[in-house]
Amino acid sequence: MITIQHGNIYKISDYARHLKNLNNEDRHSRFGYHASDYNIDQLILNMCYHPKDHELWYARNDEQRVGWGHMAKNSDGTWELAVSVDKEFQRQGIANDLMEEMLIWAKFHHISEVYMHCIEDNRIIQHLAKKHELKTKERGDGERTAAIEVPEPNFVESNTQLFKEQAEIIAEIARLRAKLASLWLSTSHQID
């Protein structure tokens, strides 16, 4: 079963690997140009320097992460949304599920505008943008942009997101407690 999870900076090397594994066509669709490994490294470095301006989501099955959603904040306060799915897992509704999670997150955090670049011949992403009520417009140079003015979350979305983010914090606290315990255990061995 595929589940969608909100990631954090610890997952960034997996994200870099996923982007570098995209074939040429998918890389072009994802970035809107032929991004090289160097361009991807620059993006990852920027994420490390400005972690608060980036949010990651991933789709995973029992064994591995198979798709990623990325939102990046711009200086004007808008956020750019991008999704990409491993070739062998495409057309299973993964990008759709990722976009749903990402847009609920955006509503909950009162982000006013989310947009994505869609190259002209990327019918699939244009379809998904429309499905999620992003309005597409031509930008020239064979490029379209799709944007949505994010509405306020309704009661159910708000509460669901609140509990989800609370669960993420509790899981992080558990991880840190386990780390603390192992630190003390290793110290007590040294004292013995």
Ligand X SMILES: CC(C)(COP(=O)(O)OP(=O)(O)OC[C@H]1O[C@@H](n2cnc3c(N)ncnc32)[C@H](O)[C@@H]1OP(=O)(O)O)[C@@H](O)C(=O)NCCC(=O)NCCS
Q: List interacting residues with ligand X (CB under 6 A).
A: 26, 29-30, 82-85, 90-96, 116, 122-125, 127-128, 131
Q: What are phi and psi of 166, to 5 degrees?
A: -65, -45
Nearest distance from residue 98's CB to ligand X, in Å? 8
Nearest distance from residue 90's CB to ligand X, in Å? 3
Instruction: Report the distance separating Cα 105 and Cα 170, nearest Å.
Output: 18
Helices in the chain by DSSP H: which ranges? 12-21, 24-31, 37-49, 94-108, 123-131, 155-191
**Nearer of residues 16 and 165 to ligand X, judged by Cβ:** 16
Nearest distance from residue 129's CB to ligand X, in Å? 9
**Nearer of residues 101 and 168 to ligand X, judged by Cβ:** 101
Residue carrying structure tokens 């003015």: 149
**Nearer of residues 127 and 175 to ligand X, judged by Cβ:** 127
**Nearer of residues 24 and 186 to ligand X, judged by Cβ:** 24
Nearest distance from residue 180's CB to ligand X, in Å? 39
On the CB side of 41, CA atoms within 13 Å amount to 3
Q: What are phi and psi of 23, to 5 degrees?
A: -70, 170
**Nearer of residues 89 and 165 to ligand X, judged by Cβ:** 89
Nearest distance from residue 103's CB to ligand X, in Å? 14
